[in-house]
Structure 1
Amino acid sequence: MINKGKYPIGGVNVCAMDYEAAVQHIVKAALVGLPCAVSALAVHGVMTGCLDPVHRRRLNGLDIVLPDGQPVRWGLNFLHGTKLEDRVYGPNLTLKVAEAAARHNLPIYLYGSRLETLELFSANLKKQFPGLVIAGMEPSRFRKLNIEEKAQTVNRIKASGAKLVFVGLGCPRQEVWAYEYRELLSMPLLAVGAAFDFHAGTLKQAPTWMQDRGLEWFYRLYQEPRRLWRRYLYLNPLYLFTLLTQRTGMSRRQVLVPNGDVPEESYG
């Protein structure tokens, strides 16, 4: 088990942690009912925090931010010598946490995406982990929630008996959601994004050889070029520039500790 603490990449604090340590931390929080907001970030997720100081404070207010993409793992190794041998890929983490939830009798709640995706995702999880209890599921409304709707969401999740929530709203909305609901729901909240579509079978994952070489972004770009071209062709070079400036000391932005309130967005 590896847990070497948090290290900054462009001001976003990322945990040098492996699957075993992450799952153990999440399960412990679920068993005793403690808040625990978790996200697994690829380059795009890290750069949303680097470029937006408000969102950076949100990310640094999460309990665990994991290196979802290989380039983020490489960044930790390059900047901080963490010697991590593997990333903590959100879709794989989802399955490992689901397996642990079934083993420890921890009901889960699925929040986000579309109803048809949730139904497929739920069926596949229960088929893979027969002992898993899915206490409830709720699709995204794809808009901001008002105060009353937010309170109703909290009440539904609590009333379901769930001990942890998988959140699939897409980056960065799911991180905003996890940040906002952390204190309202005393349980782990896992922002796992595309894991919903991958495990529902509605979106194909990149081949393993592309994932291992940090080329998953290229596969996603091939799948959705019109939606994603700006994200990858702009943010990927900027990420490399961020690593270089931080390594050479040209950037003074190292760690931003959460301080004070951050405006809420109330996505749902």
Structure 2
Amino acid sequence: MSLFHLSGSKTTVPRAIALPLAADADGRKRGGYVRRDIGGIGVAVVNRGTAITELAEAVIEGGHVKLAFCNANLVNVLADEPALQRSLSTFLVLADGIGVDIGSWLLYGAPFPDNLNGTDFFPAFFASQPRTLKVGLLGGRPGVADRAAEQLAQRYPQHRFAVFSHGYYAPEEEPALLDRIRQHRPDILLVALGNPIQERFIAAKLGPQHCSVAAGVGALFDFFAGEVQRAPAAWRRARLEWVYRLWLEPRRLWRRYVLGNPAFMLRMCRQYFFGR
């Protein structure tokens, strides 16, 4: 039984990173996307519909897309990891949160087309796909991915959700885990190991033989499982969900937001004036 039967001058506004083919009006290009360098990470200039289409095409055609969501925290944690920044050049990197929009305004004079945080993006993606998808979950605390899979199966019964492992497996268990993923080859593999571990894992360990789309999703399972409460809609529309999360979990998140947000803005200012 398949696993998936279970439930110029330094102050000149910089140009976007040049890619071989010109972009369409919505940012889509045959063969790639326009990207903007945000703290050393090339973030795709795409809207939600284009990003959904890209993933759907990878599934239909049996391709392979490595997906990351770039927010201020990812820029901060990768600041001293140039090798991983280079690895992300092979990813489709989507703009997540008000921080990268502020950086884009400062560096390029415009925000990104859409705020593509994973917590909203994947529900929209799953709801938009009429064909049955095999979706694998890897990561999170023990039990959380299982509860997330149960909730996802109730919300999107046209798809099949299965858990490969929580995120606390032993290193010696990884070869067997990768082999199990390869055998079942989900269409979508959601990897919730936190930044930058999940990006390292996807870059170094996963390929076309494992899945069509490998996505680093951070705390997404906590939201799907109801472990962490979403901010009210008004807070999300005001782009203040990070404030709500900090209020809910100050001890865990104060470094990320109270220290991390000013650090991110300093990096954006340094990039604006000095190019890096």
Cα distance in 2, alignment partners of residues 84 and 72 from structure 1: 8
Correspondence for 1:126: 153
Q: Does the Cα contact within 8 Å between 1:170 and 1:193 map onto a contact in 2?
A: yes
Any stretches of 5+ residues in structure 2 without a counterpart? 1-24, 28-32
After superposition, give the CA deviation of every residue in 1:156-208 in whole Å (9 maximum; x if it has no partner).
11222422201111222211122123325252101112221111111111223
Cα distance in 1, alignment partners of residues 185 and 255 from structure 2: 41
After superposition, give the CA deviation of every residue in 1:47-101 in whole Å (9 maximum; x if it has no partner).
212233233223334x211111122123223312344343101111121232345
Cα distance in 2, alignment partners of residues 193 and 202 from structure 1: 13
CA RMSD of aligned residues (A): 2.2
After superposition, give the CA deviation of every residue in 1:211-244 in whole Å (9 maximum; x if it has no partner).
3333322222222222222222222112112222
For CA contacts below 8 A with separation 6 or more, give which structure has more relative contact order: 1
Q: Does the Cα contact within 8 Å between 1:7 and 1:14 map onto a contact in 2?
A: yes
1:95 aligns with 2:123: yes
Cα distance in 2, alignment partners of residues 133 and 230 from structure 1: 37
Q: Does the Cα contact within 8 Å between 1:136 and 1:157 map onto a contact in 2?
A: no
TM alignment of 1:28-67, pairs within 5 A: 28-61=57-90, 63-67=91-95
TM alignment of 1:162-181, pairs within 5 A: 162-181=186-205
- The SS at the match of 2:69 is strand
Bigger radius of gyration among the two: 2
Residue range with higher mean Cα deviation, 131-140 or 105-114: 131-140
- The SS at the match of 2:239 is coil
Q: Which residue identity does 1:130 align to in structure 2?
A: P
Q: Does the Cα contact within 8 Å between 1:16 and 1:76 map onto a contact in 2?
A: no
TM alignment of 1:1-268, pairs within 5 A: 2-3=26-27, 5-61=34-90, 63-101=91-129, 103-141=130-168, 145-146=171-172, 149-183=173-207, 185-247=210-272, 249-250=273-274, 252-253=275-276
Call closer, same or farther: CA 1:244–1:161 in 2, change over 3 Å.
closer
Cα distance in 1, alignment partners of residues 162 and 147 from structure 2: 15
TM-score, normalization by structure 2 = 0.80
Any stretches of 5+ residues in structure 1 without a counterpart? 254-268
After superposition, give the CA deviation of every residue in 1:129-152 in whole Å (9 maximum; x if it has no partner).
111112443211255x24xx3332
Residue range with higher mean Cα deviation, 41-50 or 214-223: 214-223
Cα distance in 2, alignment partners of residues 246 and 123 from structure 1: 44
